[in-house]
Amino acid sequence: MKFMVTGGAGFIGSNFVRHLLSFYKDDVEILNLDNLSYGSNTANLKDLENTGNHIFIKADVKDSDTIHDLMSDVDVVVNFAAETHVDRSISNPSSFFENNAYGTFVLLEAIRKSKGRKRYVQVSTDEVYGTAQESKSFSEDDLLTPSSPYSATKAAADMLARAYCVTYGLSTSITRCSNNFGPYQFPEKLIPKTIIRAILDLHVPVYGSGNQIRDWLYVADHCEAIREVIEKGKPGEIYNISSGNEVPNIEIVKMILAEISKPEELIEHVEDRPGHDLRYSLDSSKIRAELGWKPKYEFSEALKETVRWYVENESWWRPLATDNVLHPTPWKLGW
């Protein structure tokens, strides 16, 4: 089976490539496409350099000629390629539309015009649903009410994937995951930023009160869920992927500080970003019942393992830990 993985040098994409190689071993070929923008890193793939069934290609999903040329003998396309950080989308929304919406269009068009039936999975986010009320967890049938340019462009990509299934008969599925964490995550995200700033004895910024609630999903569990959707999921269907680990941001920060024996005095409450959703919560009963998936990793142990990884891999994150990336209020930077 031949995969095209777009955004495969990013956090989740690179972990997914490893998952495929580990699961299928010699029975898989992977074309790994990434334009190596700020969130991607060839160092994420360094241990795969001598893997004969994994080929990395520096390419942009918006480059329709390249995508069309590479699509001909691919069996499965998994689209991770996206601008992902809400703060950056506030400062520079145009690049999010170009990469997230138009890039998805290019991929779907290439599949539509290519020979043979191909499986396509659009990797999306819980943020397309907007803020969840206190007693509410979003199901796949709920209305999309995105709050940021990032989530709005991801919602647009989802709608394109669905439309190409209905109109052209493409075998597309959509996955929407809760907040991921784990190795190789770009340092501007909450968990790696907290770990790195704490290691460096810098103040750890927390937006507003820090009571924003996220459901934390270990990246290895997410990768396995996507593979299950590829193998067992139905075309045209949406699958929420979540673990049920709903924790306020302030508690996540305190857990990390305790794990590396740093004082809570490092916490610095900073100005909240515009349109900050208060809670994300997904009902993942569909994928559990229909496909038999469930998370394998216990949250506190996975968080400890993640902290250990960053502590032991300073050579990976040190070149990325610039002042801009670790900025207390990055949405103000005007990228």
pLDDT per residue as tens digits for the range 127-168: 999 999 888 999 999 999 999 999 999 999 999 999 999 999
Bridge partners of 2?
29
Structure tokens at 108: 């779907």
Which residues face 213 on adjacent strands?
248, 279
**Nearest by Cα to 179 from 195, 191, 197:** 191
Could you tell me which of 284, 312, 290, 146 has the C-alpha nearest to residue 217?
284
Question: Which of 51, 49, 10, 15 lies closest to 33, judged by CA?
Answer: 10
Q: Of 19-23, 27-31, 195-199, 322-326, which range is least confident?
A: 322-326
Nearest to 154 by CA among 172, 179, 128: 128
266 and 223 co-located in one domain: no
| CA 126 and chain centroid, separation | 10
Residues 230 and 109 placed together within one structural domain of the fold = yes
Per-residue pLDDT tens digits for 174-189: 999 999 999 999 999 9
Residues 232 and 200 in one domain: no
pLDDT at 331: 81
Q: What is the full DSSP assignment across 146-169?
A: --SHHHHHHHHHHHHHHHHHHHH-
Number of domains in the chain: 2
Report, as an integer, the average pLDDT of 58-70.
Answer: 97
pLDDT band at 335 (very low <50, low <70, confident <90, very high): low
- Tell me: pLDDT of 223 over 90: yes
Q: Does residue 290 form part of some domain?
A: no
| pLDDT recorded at residue 145 | 97
Domain with 124, as residue range(s), is 2-181+216-241
Residues marked as catalytic: 126-127, 150
Same domain, 136 and 203: no
**pLDDT recorded at residue 166:** 98
Which ranges of the chain would DSSP assign to H, the alpha helix?
Answer: 11-24, 64-70, 86-91, 93-96, 103-113, 149-168, 190-199, 219-232, 249-259, 285-291, 299-312, 314-317
Is 214 strand, coil or helix? strand
281 within some domain: no
Task: Note whether 28 and 66 are same-domain residues.
Answer: yes
What's the Rg (C-alpha) of the chain? 19
Residue 245 near residue 299 (C-beta atoms within 8 A): yes
Over 80: is that where the pLDDT of 298 sits?
A: yes
Band the pLDDT of 62: cuts 50, 70, 90.
very high
Over 90: is that where the pLDDT of 263 sits?
yes
How do residues 272-292 score in pLDDT, each as one tens digit?
Answer: 999 899 999 999 999 999 999
**Whether residues 235 and 311 fall in one domain:** no
